[in-house]
C-alpha cells in the first residue's frame, strides 16, 4: 500500500435502485460489476469494506401495505430482495478475485451465512468484503438503518451513502442550477432541516455513535476510492 486511506474500515450503502441501471427494474449485471470494481479499488487501498444493498429495485414492503396487504409480509419480501441483490454483488466481486461473503440477518443457510457480529468482525479483519443482507431482519425498518446499525456494530470509521448525486445540495441540483454542494454539515443539521439523505433512524444511530456519513455518487466510476484517498466529490456529515 503506497497511500494511507482516509478511513480504515467503512460500510458502503447502495440502494437497490442503483443496481438496476437503465432497466427500471431488477439487476443490470454490468452496473453491479462496476460497483464491484469500485469496491475492489477500495480493498486495494487496504480499506476494510462492509456493504449493505437495498432492495427497492425488486420490492418494497410499502407496495403491499399501500394496496391493503400485510405490511409485515411485504417487508419480509423486501428483505428477501436485499438477499438477491447481495448474492449478485458477491458474484461480481468473486468474478474479479475479491474475497467476499454474504451474511444475512435472516437465516437461510443454504444460500448464505447468518449474520453474527463476531464472525463479521473476524471476516473483516481477514480482509474479506462482508455484504450484510436481509436489512436489520425486522419489518418497519430500512436498509439505511441496517447500514448504520452494521457500521456501529463493526466499529466502522465511516458510513458511505451512495446516491444519484455527489453530495448534499442546498437544493435539487438536477432542477436548480444555482444549487451548491455542502462540503460538510452536521448530523443535527440534516435532522433539523429534514435533508433526505437517509432515514431519521439511520442518521440518529450514526450520530449517537459518532459515525460520519459520506454522501457521494455511486454512479461515478472510481468515486468511492477517490474519496478514500482524500479527494473526490462528496458531502461529509459529521459532528
Ligand atoms: N426492509 C425491512 N427491514 C429492514 C430493511 C429492509 O423490512 O431492516 C424491507 C422494506 O420493505 C424495504 C425493503 O426491504 O422497503 C427494501 O429496503 P429499502 O427500501 O431500504 O431499499 P432501498 O431503498 O435502499 O433500495
3-state SS, 116-137, equals: CHHHHHHHHHCCCEEEEECCCC
Predicted local confidence at residue 59, as pLDDT: 92
Taking the C-alpha atoms of residue 164 and residue 218, their distance in angstroms, rounded to an integer, is 7
Taking the C-alpha atoms of residue 141 and residue 188, their distance in angstroms, rounded to an integer, is 21
- For residues 155-169, average pLDDT: 95
In a domain, 178, yes or no: yes
Q: Is 61 in the pocket of ligand 1 (CB under 6 A)?
A: yes
In a domain, 53, yes or no: yes
Percentage of the residues of the chain whose pLDDT score is greater than 70: 99
pLDDT digits (tens, 9 = 90+) for 8-20: 999 999 999 999 9
- For residues 150-161, average pLDDT: 98
In a domain, 221, yes or no: yes
Q: Give the Å distance between the CA of 61 and the centre of ligand 1.
A: 7
Q: Is 18 in the pocket of ligand 1 (CB under 6 A)?
A: no
The more confident residue out of 101 and 177 is: 101
pLDDT digits (tens, 9 = 90+) for 173-198: 888 999 999 999 999 999 888 888 89
For a mutational test of ligand 1's pocket, the pick from 32, 54, 201, i.e. the residue with the most ligand atoms closer than 8 A to its C-beta, is: 54
Number of domains in the chain: 1
In a domain, 1, yes or no: no
Taking the C-alpha atoms of residue 112 and residue 134, their distance in angstroms, rounded to an integer, is 11
Q: Is 17 in the pocket of ligand 1 (CB under 6 A)?
A: yes
Strand order in the sheet with 100-104: 113-114, 100-104, 129-133, 48-53, 9-14, 158-163, 213-217, 235-237, 184-185
Predicted local confidence at residue 3, as pLDDT: 72
Q: Which residues are annotated as a binding site for ATP?
A: 13-16, 56, 60, 163, 169, 172
Taking the C-alpha atoms of residue 110 and residue 93, their distance in angstroms, rounded to an integer, is 20
Taking the C-alpha atoms of residue 139 and residue 75, their distance in angstroms, rounded to an integer, is 5
Q: Give the Å distance between the CA of 92 and the centre of ligand 1.
A: 22
Q: Give the Å distance between the CA of 82 and the centre of ligand 1.
A: 7
pLDDT digits (tens, 9 = 90+) for 47-67: 999 999 999 999 998 888 888
Identify the CA nearest to 103 among candidates 111, 95, 94, 93.
Answer: 111
The CATH number linked to 34 is 3.40.1160.10
pLDDT for residue 46 is more than 80? yes
ipTM score above 0.90: yes
Domain residues for the domain of 61 are 9-237
The alpha-carbon radius of gyration of the chain (Å, integer) is: 17
Instruction: Let me know: does 161 contact 198? Beta carbons within 8 Å.
Output: yes
Q: Is 134 in the pocket of ligand 1 (CB under 6 A)?
A: no
Predicted local confidence at residue 44, as pLDDT: 97
Rounded to two decimals, what is the model's pTM? 0.96
- The band of 69, judged by pLDDT with boundaries at 50, 70 and 90, is confident
pLDDT for residue 215 is more than 50? yes
pLDDT for residue 2 is more than 80? no
Residue 112, Cβ density class (10 Å: 0-12 exposed, 13-18 middle, ≥19 buried) = buried
- The band of 1, judged by pLDDT with boundaries at 50, 70 and 90, is very low
In a domain, 161, yes or no: yes
Amino acid at each position: 500500500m503506497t497511500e494511507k486511506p482516509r478511513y480504515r474500515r467503512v460500510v458502503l450503502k447502495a440502494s437497490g435502485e442503483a443496481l438496476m441501471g437503465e432497466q427500471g427494474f431488477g439487476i443490470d449485471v454490468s452496473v453491479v460489476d462496476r460497483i464491484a470494481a469500485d469496491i475492489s479499488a477500495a480493498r486495494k487501498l487496504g480499506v476494510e469494506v462492509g456493504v449493505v444493498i437495498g432492495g427497492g429495485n425488486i420490492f418494497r414492503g410499502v407496495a403491499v401495505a399501500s394496496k391493503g396487504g400485510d405490511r409485515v409480509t411485504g417487508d419480509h419480501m423486501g428483505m428477501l430482495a436485499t438477499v438477491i441483490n447481495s448474492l449478485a454483488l458477491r458474484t461480481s466481486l468473486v468474478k474479479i478475485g475479491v474475497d467476499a461473503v454474504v451474511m444475512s440477518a435472516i437465516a437461510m443457510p443454504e444460500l448464505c451465512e447468518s449474520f453474527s457480529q463476531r464472525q463479521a468482525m473476524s471476516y473483516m479483519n481477514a480482509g474479506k468484503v462482508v455484504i450484510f443482507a436481509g436489512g436489520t431482519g425486522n419489518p418497519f425498518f430500512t436498509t439505511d438503518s441496517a447500514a448504520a446499525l452494521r457500521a456501529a456494530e463493526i466499529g466502522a470509521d465511516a458510513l458511505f451513502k451512495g446516491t444519484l448525486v455527489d453530495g448534499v445540495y442546498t437544493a435539487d441540483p438536477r432542477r436548480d442550477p444555482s444549487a451548491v454542494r455542502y462540503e460538510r454539515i452536521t448530523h443535527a443539521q440534516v435532522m433539523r432541516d429534514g435533508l433526505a439523505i437517509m432515514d431519521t433512524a439511520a442518521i440518529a444511530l450514526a450520530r449517537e455513535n459518532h459515525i460520519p456519513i459520506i454522501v457521494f455518487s455511486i454512479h461515478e466510476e472510481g468515486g468511492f476510492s477517490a474519496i478514500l484517498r482524500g479527494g473526490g466529490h462528496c458531502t461529509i456529515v459529521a459532528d
